[in-house]
Amino acid sequence: MSKLYNTQEDFAINFNKFVLNIYPKARKTQLNILPYILFGMTKAESSVASDIAKELEDKFDFVQHDSNVKRIRRFYNNKLFDGENFYDALIKHVIFNYKKKHKDFRVHIIIDHMFSHDNYTTLMMSMRVGKQGIPLWFRSFKGKKVSDAFEESLIIEGINYIIDLFKHTKYKLTFLADRWFNSTNLMETIEKAGHIYCFRLKKNIKCFIYDKKEGHKIWKWLDELTTYEWHSALYDDVLLTESKFKCKIVCSKRHCTDDAWILATNGNYRQTIIDYGYRFGGIETIFKNQKSNDFYIENIVNATEKSYQTMYSLVCTCILFHTIIGTDYSKNTRCYKKYKNCYS
């Protein structure tokens, strides 16, 4: 007979001890419901309050379902609970204890936007962990065309946060971003901090580059650069835009594709294509888990911005928790053979 570990009450008690250790300003009233919401999210595989309430057990069985739903929604809208601040304390604890066993000290940070239909927009920065990713920093807004989510100052704030998050380590950060983020100011911020950027650029950007026919440097559009079908084209000491920001350019056009990768970097350009290939798995897996693969945040359509920010923070908390458990399980499979948890 196998013993059941991590029941709802066991999880709540131990989680509250952990939270008080890393986030001492958490209120008792918040801790009375927070672990149960996370537990219910995991069991229900949903972020919708009514779905979470259905999975709550023990003391919640003696309360009407509608009352539990209202209690969860009140927590989402609680102005005294800052979900992003809570996750900040959580991720700082995780990164402080994060260790890489192999000798490669490169850490890949991915920057991207996530859209929940036309209802909400999130600016996300994540870290690649194997073939998955974990959220590091995010800011959510209500609406799709929200200028605040695309402000360069906000993106730089996130970049500086990530750099500060790893300042106690020897890790070399490599920032990966697609064509939404082709700003020389972002690249300069990363370079000045002593880290590497690998950004995909739009074709309608001008660069000052040496031309063999002319015999000197001239201004060209990026889509005028030579690309090859079977190997990459490398350009050193390229000056981007009128600011003449110096970088390296790598052009890669795969066989049978029309759209070439035009990547700007300050690192080893022979490693650039490999690094940029990590971008998709390092953040799209998170977005998939938040949407159709697990928590279905797209079912949230009429929540307030505050409610969505809290809910999104808790979803990120669950994803972080699941990734840690999955990573530990993959490395220590034998330790889990005799155990069952409440999710199986």
| Gyration radius of the chain over CA positions | 23
Residue 255 has pLDDT above 60, yes or no: no
- pLDDT tens per residue, range 85-99: 999 999 999 999 988
- pLDDT tens per residue, range 111-151: 999 999 899 999 999 999 988 899 999 999 999 879 999 99
Residue 163 has pLDDT above 60, yes or no: yes
Q: Which of 298, 316, 303, 317 is nearest to 72 (CA)?
A: 303
Residue 174 has pLDDT above 60, yes or no: yes
All CATH 3.30.420 domain ranges of the chain, comma separated, are 86-201+262-284
pLDDT at residue number 81:
95
- pLDDT tens per residue, range 256-290: 556 788 999 999 888 898 899 899 989 999 999 99
Domain 86-201+262-284 falls under CATH 3.30.420: yes
Please check whether residue 37 is in contact with residue 47, taking contact to mean a CB–CB distance below 8 angstroms: no
Residue 2 has pLDDT above 50, yes or no: no
Distance CA 295, CA 123 (A): 18
Distances (CA, A) of 156 to 123, 150, 183, 344: 12, 11, 11, 41
Task: Please tell me the pTM assigned to this model.
Answer: 0.90
pLDDT at residue number 315:
96
Q: Which residue has the higher pLDDT, 340 or 213?
A: 213
